[in-house]
Amino acid sequence: METIFVAALVSLLYAILNICRYLHRKSHQRSCCYMLAYQCHVAPDDLKLSTGTCSKIVLRTIISSGVGEETYCPANILQGRETSPSLHDSLQETDDVVFSTLDTLFATSGISPSQIDILVTTVSLFAPSPSISSRIANRYRMKEGVKSFSLAGMGCSASLVGIDLVRRLFTVRPNAFALVVSTENIGAHWYQGKDRSFMLSNVLFRTGGASILLTNDPSWKGRAILNLVASARTHLSSDEAYGAALQVEDDQGYRGFRLSKHLPQAAVEALVHNFRVLLPKVLPAWEIARYVVVYSYTFCKRRRRTPLINMKSGIQHFCVHPGGRAVIDGVGRSLGLGEEDLEPSRMTLHRFGNTSSGGLWYVLGYMEAKKRLRGGEKVLMISLGAGFMCNSCVWEVLRDVGDVNVWGDCIQRYPPLTLVNPFADKFDWIHQDYMNFIRLEDYDRAQFDM
């Protein structure tokens, strides 16, 4: 009798999920979102920040963070002017990233700036007036009717907020072209105090960014490389989640980012809520049904360990935000991913550091440079950010792609035989207990309770 009940439950769930998926596909057929091209930023060699150079600037580089010797930082940091950054420094830092990526994107795509209908910029820590989107529109003489948005304060997850915003605007704007431009301003926000718990931003964050060209014009599908299948946004509003990653001043009045003890729990909770929305849209109905049955059985038996859902049943590639080694490790464990799945994120962190909201596109670029993306495969992007937010989306690869893009000068060296840094012994204080603020393995019981 129990077997018959379980079989009937699975059949019912399967039918419901298939109906929901059909309705979801029908609604999205009215508003497709194709990615035509994207371009990441590579700074000039004179802005490279090795750990040796960093230690000469200030003795606060954490070597076991996973960041390598060829990342980049703003000119005012290398020139020793981190204590007195000017407005010109911030504008120059932003312009270098934004304009270089857009120049390349327009030249390679064949799309003119005058054809852009929607413009979204995501820069969390720098909001000049006129806005960054206005600077772009002015430089490229975009048409008067362009709909521009400048998103600030959303942290590392902002780029996918921009993608989701474009997707929603596409529903009321047919045959349009859109740009999402994502970067971060580092030079004016270099922590200058001595509190080690504030130093993570100096350790991980580096100069970088990306510009992404999108369209919902069906006639351009043949030239597109990806199609947006689904997206999900989660924003926790509790006091603990809000304060998990907060820009504040230390006891000496130096501004920096404080990461609280609530960060691991906020990250897990946001991820769980986000995947409850996203996964039923992208994973096979039979896998969702299997998970519900196994989870129900485990719950009834009062077993401590929650089963993992099989992410690879519907997704082949994983762009985990390269926010730091602990973040990559924790998300990988929570999703049941192997080293090959996490390699693109680890290598991006090593080569480019944490470039904030632009980081996911370097991860995608690594996959493309390694010729791993094949037509019909699915790519999951996951980002976490202050607020506390978790944003994600799934792309379908429309054709085999293999452009080496910004990885062209180094892709043959990756992955290296070791990621161990020669300064590891000097900076081994990272292993002290108070730095273990985002070890998600302590929260495995919160795994994806659908």
- Do β-strands 245-249 and 255-259 pair in parallel, antiparallel, or remain unpaired? antiparallel
Label residue 443 exposed, middle or buried (CB < 10 Å: 0-12, 13-18, 19+). Answer: middle
**One of 41, 189, 262, 350 is an active-site residue; which one?**
350
Closest of 300, 274, 284 to residue 13, by C-alpha: 284
Report yes or no: 241 and 266 within 8 Å, Cβ to Cβ. yes
- CA dist., res. 417 & res. 375, Å (int): 30
The answer to whether 28 is a known catalytic residue is no
**One of 321, 390, 391, 393 is an active-site residue; which one?**
321
**One of 216, 235, 390, 421 is an active-site residue; which one?**
235
**One of 32, 54, 156, 390 is an active-site residue; which one?**
156
Cite the DSSP H helix spans in 209-262.
239-242
Cis peptide before 422 (omega within 30 of 0): no
Beta strands in 61-156 (DSSP E): 118-122, 147-151
CA angle 252, 262, 234 (to 5 degrees): 115
The answer to whether 354 is a known catalytic residue is yes
Question: What are the residues facing 76 on neighbouring strands?
Answer: none
The answer to whether 317 is a known catalytic residue is yes
**One of 41, 185, 317, 391 is an active-site residue; which one?**
317
Q: Which own/partner contact pairs does 107-115 have at CB distance under 8 Å and 24+ positions apart? A: 108/37, 108/39, 109/36, 109/37, 109/213, 111/36, 111/177, 111/213, 113/140, 113/141, 113/142, 114/141, 114/142, 114/143, 115/177
- CA dist., res. 252 & res. 257, Å (int): 14
The answer to whether 321 is a known catalytic residue is yes
The residues carrying an active-site annotation are 156, 235, 317, 321, 350, 354
